[in-house]
Chain A
Amino acid sequence: MSLDFNKNFFELFSLPIQYSLDKQRLASRFRALQAEYHPDRFANASDQERRVALQSTGYINEAHETLKSPRLRARYMLELKHVDFDDERDTTQDMSFLMQQMEKREALEEAAQSADPLEAVDAIAKQVKQEQNELNAEFEKQLSQDNLAEAKEAVLKMKFYERLANEVKSLQEKIEDEMFAS
C-alpha cells in the first residue's frame, strides 16, 4: 500500500491536531510506518518501488522530526492554518525580548568565567529550559484563542531560545571536557 502524501503530519501519525504531544504514540507509530515503508523492505524491488519507498520514508522522517520538536511542531500547526514563514526575514520586533536575549548571553559569558563555571552554567540552563516551557505554553494559549499573529510571534521567539539552548549546551560540553581532561 502506498503512503498518502495528502495526509498532514498529525494524520500520518494518527495523532490529534493539538500542541501537547503523546510521545509514546509518536514513537510507536514511527516504528510501524518505518517497518512498512523503509527502502530496505524494497531491496530487491523495482527502481520505481524503491524511489517511492525513499520518498515515503523521507516524508515520514520529516513528519517525525517536525512533530518531535516543540518549535517545529508549533510552526507546522500555524502553517496548517495558512500562516506563512519567511525564514530570511521574519524575526521578532519585540525590543525588550531582544534586550533580554542579549543580557542572557552576557550572563552566560560571565558564568563561564566564574569560580564554579559548571554550576553557574547549569543554573542558566535550568532557567532557559523553564522559559522555553513558558514560551511553549504561551503559544498553546494564543493558538487556542486563534490569535495567529501572537502565536507566530511566540514561534519566532522559540528560535532565539533554541539558539541560546544550543550555546548553553556547547558551553557545558566545553567546561566538562576541560574538567575531564585535567
Chain B
Amino acid sequence: MALLQISEPGMSTAPHEHRLAAGIDLGTTNSLVASVRSGDATTLANEQGEHLLPSVVRYLPDGSVVVGAEAKAVEVSDLNNTISSAKRLLGRGVDDIKTLAGNLPYTFSSSDSQVPKISTVAGDVSAIEVSAEILKALKNRAEKTLGGDLKGVVITVPAYFDDAQRQATKDAARLADLNVYRLLNEPTAAAVAYGLDQGEDFDEKIIAVYDLGGGTFDISILRLNKGVFEVLATGGDSALGGDDFDHVIAEWILQQLGDEQENNPTKLREVLVEARRVKEALSDADKVEVSLGDWQGQFTAEQFAELAEPLVKKTLFACRRALRDADIDKEDVMDVVMVGGSTRMPIIRQRVGDFFEKPPLVDIDPDKVVAVGAAIQADLLAGNKPDTEMLLLDVIPLSLGLETYGGLVEKIIARNTTIPISRAQEFTTFKDSQNAMTIHVLQGERETVEENRSLAKFTLRDIPAMVAGAARIKVTFQVDADGLLNVTAEEETTGVKSSIEVKPSYGLSDAEIESMIKDSMTNAQADMELRKLREAQVEADRTIEALDSAMASDGDTLLSADEKTKLLAAREALLLEKQSGDTEAIKAAIKNMEKTAEFYVARRMDGNIRTAMAGQNIDKFKD
C-alpha cells in the first residue's frame, strides 16, 4: 500500500487490494462462516468437509477448549463442562437466568458480575466467552482456507435481538479478536443471499423473510428499492424454534410409553433424539416408524401437523403483526424467503405458502443462506466491490424509553425506527433545589416499567439548585448502525453540563472485557511457554539418548575413565534440569552437555570415517 493515496470519490485506486472478509452466522445450534471467493459467496468447510460447526464448546481441566462436533459428541457424558445453545444466554442478566435455568443443565456460579457465569472444570465462563470460542474456531477456519488474516467480518444476529444481546455479540467478537464491520440482521442477510435486489422489472419490492432456526423464530418485512434494503418491521419469538417441534413429538412418544419416564434424564434424552429423527424423516415421508427400546409405533405427517399446529400458528401470528407494523398488505409481498433448518419441514413450507398465498423461496440451503448473505455484505464493506450501490438500512427492533412517574414508560424511540438515530427529550425537576435525577432506560413495548427490559439506570448529579420545574434535563438516546444504544443526560439552563454515558446492564463492563482479553493473552503466552518447555525437554531426552547409545557402542574404546566420569556428570546434570520445568535452565544444560562432549564427537567423527570406510554404521552423536 502506498503511504498516501489520492483518489476521486467513486474511483478506486488501481490495482485494488483485495481485503479478506467473511460473514459469520453465529447460531444457537450451528454456526457457519462464508466468504466471497472469485465472485462467489460460499460457506467454508473444515478439514473433514463439514460446513456446519455445532455451537458447542467443551472446557477441559487444563483450561483448553474443544469446539464443534467433537464437543457435541461428549455433550451427554460431560454435561457440566460442555456448553451448547450459549446464544440463548447472550446478553441475559442474572435474573433472566433464574427463569431460564430450570431448562439448562449447567451450574451457575454466583459472582459479582452482572453477567451470569457457568461453572466448569476450567473455571467460570460467561456466554460471551463461550461464543468467543466459537467465533475463534470460525476465524481460524476462514484464515486457514483463505490464506491470510481477516480484515473484517459481518456477524449476523436475530432481528429480534435487543440492545444487550447485540452488545454481548460484539463483546464476544472483541474477545475473539475480530474486527466487526457490522452486525447484520439474519433475515436481511438471507434476502441479500437471494440477490433479490438484482431484478430490473420493479421499482419497489416487498419481501418477507421467515426464519425458523433451532431456537429462535424471526419474521422480517423488507422493502427493496434501487439497491436499498429497508427493514420495515421485524417480529418473532426468541424462545421458539425447531427444538420445540422435537418436543411435541417427544411428548407424544412419552405418552405412548405410558410409564413414569419424565424423571429419568437419560431416557428423556433418548426420546428427544428419536423425536428429532422422526421429525427429520417426516420431511421425506408421510409416516415414520418410531422405536424406543422394546416399544414400536408409527407417527404420521398428519399427527405431526395436528400436534405442531399451536407452534405453527404462533409463527403466523407474528407474521401478521409484522405486516401490520410495516403497514403492508399480504398481497403486496412479492417474495417469501425461507431461512433456518426447521423450514425444511413440509408442514412449515405448506402453511407459510398458504398464508402469503405464494410458494416460498427454498433454493438456497436454509442452513447456509444467512452466512452467504453476510459474506456478500462483508465483501462489500471491505471495499472489494466499489461499484455496488447496495445499502442495508436497519430498524430498531424494540422501542426505547425512560421511566417516568408512576412506574410508567415514556417511549423516546419507537420500534422499527430506522437506525442510526439520535433523539433527545427534555425533562425537569419536580422539587425545589433538587440536585440529582435518576434516569432509568428501558426497552420494550409495554407500558409499565416491570413489563419492559431494564437496560441501564444512572443518576445525573450536581444539578444546580433551582425551583421545581426550572431545570431542563436533556436526555439523548443515540443508537448506532448495529442497534447499540448510548444514553447521555445533561442539564442545560445554566450552561452547567453534566453528562454520563451508559452501557446496558447485561453487557460486560469494559474492565471485564479488558481482563478477559488479558487472560486470553496470558493464556496464549502460557501456551507458548509450555510448548517451548516441552520442546526443550524432548531435546534433552534426545541428547541423553544419543550419548547413551554412543557410549554403548564405542565408549569403552574411545574414552578414558576420567573422560567417562565427566560426560556422565554432565548427563546427570541435564537429567536433573529436565525435571525442573525451567526452559532456560534445560537449554543451558543441553549446551553444557554438548560442550563437554565436543572432544568425544570429534573423536567419533574420525572413528566414524574409519568405520564408514570399513562399511560399518555407527550411531551419530548429533543428527
- On A, residues with C-beta under 8 Å from B are 27, 31, 34-35, 38-41, 43-44, 54-55, 57-59, 61-62, 64-65, 86-89, 169, 173, 176-177, 180-181
Are B419 and A61 in contact, CB atoms less than 8 angstroms apart? yes
Are B418 and A40 in contact, CB atoms less than 8 angstroms apart? no
Known: A54-B481, A177-B317. A40 touches B228 (CB 8 A): no
Residue from the list A35, A54, A88 in contact with B228, Cβ < 8 A = A35
Main secondary structure, interface of B, reads mixed
Residue from the list A39, A62, A180 in contact with B313, Cβ < 8 A = A180
Q: Which residues of B contact A59 (CB under 8 A)?
A: 422
Number of interface residues of B (CB under 8 A): 38
Q: Which residues of B contact A176 (CB under 8 A)?
A: 320
- Bound together, the chains give a CA A41 to CA B452 distance in angstroms of 34
- Minimum C-beta distance from A18 to chain B (A): 24
- B389 contacts chain A at the CB level, 8 A cutoff: yes
Q: Which residues of B contact A177 (CB under 8 A)?
A: 317, 320
Are A58 and B420 in contact, CB atoms less than 8 angstroms apart? yes
- Minimum C-beta distance from A30 to chain B (A): 9
Known: A34-B391, A35-B391. A61 touches B417 (CB 8 A): yes
Known: A54-B420, A181-B313. A40 touches B321 (CB 8 A): no
Residue pairs across A and B with Cβ atoms less than 8 A apart, 5 shown, are A35-B228, A39-B420, A40-B391, A54-B420, A61-B421
- Minimum C-beta distance from A63 to chain B (A): 10
- Bound together, the chains give a CA A93 to CA B311 distance in angstroms of 49
- Bound together, the chains give a CA A181 to CA B317 distance in angstroms of 9
Within 8 A of A (CB), among B226-256: 226-228
Are A43 and B383 in contact, CB atoms less than 8 angstroms apart? yes
Are A64 and B418 in contact, CB atoms less than 8 angstroms apart? yes
- Bound together, the chains give a CA A55 to CA B320 distance in angstroms of 34
Q: Which residues of B contact A58 (CB under 8 A)?
A: 420-422, 478
- B213 contacts chain A at the CB level, 8 A cutoff: no
Q: Which residues of A contact B419 (CB under 8 A)?
A: 61
Are A61 and B427 in contact, CB atoms less than 8 angstroms apart? no
Are B426 and A87 in contact, CB atoms less than 8 angstroms apart? yes
Residue of A nearest to B393 (CB): A34
Q: Which residues of A contact B316 (CB under 8 A)?
A: 180
Main secondary structure, interface of A, reads helix
Residue from the list B182, B225, B324, B469 in contact with A43, Cβ < 8 A = B182
Are B393 and A65 in contact, CB atoms less than 8 angstroms apart? no
Question: Interface centre among B421, B469, B478, by most A CB within 10 Å?
Answer: B421
A43-B181, A58-B421 given. 16 additional CB < 8 A pairs? A34-B391, A35-B227, A38-B391, A38-B481, A41-B391, A43-B382, A43-B383, A44-B151, A44-B383, A54-B480, A58-B420, A58-B422, A58-B478, A88-B426, A173-B321, A181-B313
- B425 contacts chain A at the CB level, 8 A cutoff: yes
- 10 smallest CB-CB distances across A and B, nearest first, come from A43-B381, A58-B422, A61-B421, A39-B481, A43-B181, A31-B228, A58-B420, A61-B418, A57-B420, A54-B420
Interface 1/0 per residue, B446-482 and A, CB below 8 Å: 0000000000000000000000010000000010110
- Bound together, the chains give a CA A178 to CA B327 distance in angstroms of 20
Question: Interface centre among A35, A41, A61, A176, by most B CB within 10 Å?
Answer: A61
Are B152 and A43 in contact, CB atoms less than 8 angstroms apart? yes
Residue of A nearest to B472 (CB): A86
- B428 contacts chain A at the CB level, 8 A cutoff: yes
- Bound together, the chains give a CA A31 to CA B229 distance in angstroms of 10
Residue of A nearest to B21 (CB): A43
- Bound together, the chains give a CA A24 to CA B419 distance in angstroms of 21
- B392 contacts chain A at the CB level, 8 A cutoff: yes
- Minimum C-beta distance from A127 to chain B (A): 19
Within 8 A of A (CB), among B406-425: 417-423, 425
Are B313 and A31 in contact, CB atoms less than 8 angstroms apart? no
Residue of A nearest to B480 (CB): A54
- Minimum C-beta distance from B247 to chain A (A): 20
Are A173 and B324 in contact, CB atoms less than 8 angstroms apart? yes
Q: Which residues of B contact A65 (CB under 8 A)?
A: 417-418, 421
Interface 1/0 per residue, B142-156 and A, CB below 8 Å: 000000000110000
Q: Which residues of B contact A39 (CB under 8 A)?
A: 420, 480-481
